[in-house]
Amino acid sequence: MTASVGVSTSGRLHMGFFDLHGGLGRKFGSIGLSLTEPNLILSAKRSKSLQVSGVSNVPESVIARISKVSQQILSAMNIAESVEVNISEAVPEHSGLGSGTQMALATGSVISHLYQLNLTSMQIATLTGRGRRSGVGISAFDYGGLLVDGGRAVSASHSSPPPMLARYDFPEEWAILLIFDASEPGIHGDQEKVAFNELPTFPESLAAHLCRHVLMQAMPALVERDLIAFGQSIQVLQQHVGDYFLPVQGGRYASRLVSAVLERLEAMGVPCFGQSSWGPTGFAIFANKNQAEQHLQQLKTTFTDRALSWKICSACNHGAKFNKFDVTV
């Protein structure tokens, strides 16, 4: 019997959708990237009653969400007992880094290990309502790296999460600058649902254009480690998808502060930058850590608003890591 299980996973970038039209029977389609930071780290053991706690800097909202997911999994699998969960690190919520999916998969996975349920990440995502539009977070949990998913079937009201179409190791020497805005959360929940329901039909020709950029520019550029060509493709996605969501976000990017930083990075000639998912977190990718640090020092001189914060990290080319401690009974 497994006595306790620990899991470590991390945030991800969602760089954009490439088919918001859906005329071929599948809608959305995403490209994204698993990150080394920020992290979600938790451990769990079997218990008679549900108990979830966290270290002092873990928000109560994270504790509440993991409690809810735990109960969902236990109830769905008819588990009479429960779990005791402790959270030591958490990915910021509603920041565009996929915290909800990572919390659901991490929590579901440790329960699956403890009670020998053999649940896959796809099954956990379905049970907890994750991956309705993008499969990037699920594949990031399983495999890490640069990920491309195939969107979900539009004909089925409750289709499974989008399948992964391609997965690549991302150059770990390419440094990633994350730009956080603490003054406002990204769009989420009911706001997100309303946004997708009220926006006009996405032009089919533009969806075809974006698919071409992903297939014929971003993917081969990554294989050839061509950051400039990869960045050009991501910029096309960011521009068109950001402008499509402008009525909901209030601009191409959700955060006024992050938008100003990204405009400055563009003026500095940075090849790859944008907003992750609904934001407000922005990102920029550099050829190496030294370049990232040099640009960050310049940005800190220009942008002094206390709501802004920064983190330099890299790509994570592996999935979630588990530690299991077994006992014999």
Residue-level pLDDT at 189: 67
Does residue 38 have a cis peptide bond before it, meaning omega lies within 30 degrees of 0? yes
Dihedral angle, C-alpha 56, 62, 68, 72, nearest 10 °: -110
Residue-level pLDDT at 22: 95
Alpha helices in the chain (DSSP H): 60-76, 99-114, 121-128, 136-142, 190-198, 204-213, 219-223, 227-244, 246-249, 256-267, 289-302
Residue-level pLDDT at 196: 74
For residue 278, the 8-state DSSP code is: T
- Which of 94, 96, 91 has the alpha carbon at shortest distance from 14? 96
Residue-level pLDDT at 328: 47
Residue-level pLDDT at 176: 98
Residue-level pLDDT at 155: 82
- Residue-level length of the chain: 329
- Residue 116 host element (H or E): none
Directed axis angle between helix 60-76 and helix 99-114, to 10°? Answer: 50
Domains and CATH numbers, the chain: 4-170+317-325 (3.30.230.10), 175-314 (3.30.70.890)
Residue-level pLDDT at 132: 87
Residue-level pLDDT at 88: 97
Residue-level pLDDT at 158: 64
Residue-level pLDDT at 156: 67
- Which of 129, 131, 164 has the alpha carbon at shortest distance from 148? 164
Low pLDDT (below 50) residues in the chain: 328-329
CB 136 within 8 A of CB 308: no
Q: Are strands 82-89 and 51-54 parallel, antiparallel or unpaired?
A: parallel
Integer distance in angstroms from the first to the last C-alpha of the chain?
A: 7
